[in-house]
Amino acid sequence: MSRSIEQVCVGDTLPPVGVCVIVAGGVAKIKEDGIWYTGMEEPVFERPLEWSPKWWAKIPLDNEV
């Protein structure tokens, strides 16, 4: 069984500051400085993304099918 996630256009709504979300290429979050940071490398969320995401999605927090 598959699950779909809702993609949100960054032109419409940005995720809350400091919340980890799914973006094309992995996971990221926006910090207080308004810059997107990657969560795919160590140290986590310390490297700014090299692109601007066009969409984001909430990370599902449950394990239901």
| Per-residue pLDDT tens digits for 53-62 | 999 999 988 7
Average pLDDT value for the chain: 88
Query: In this structure, are residues 20 and 28 in contact, taking their beta carbons and an 8 Å threshold?
Result: yes
Backbone angles phi, psi at 40, to 5 degrees: -100, 0
Q: Is the pTM of the predicted complex or chain greater than 0.85?
A: no
- List b or e across 46-64, with b for residues whose CB sees 16 or more CB atoms inside 10 angstroms: eeebeeebeebeeeeeeee
Give CA 32 to chain center in angstroms: 15
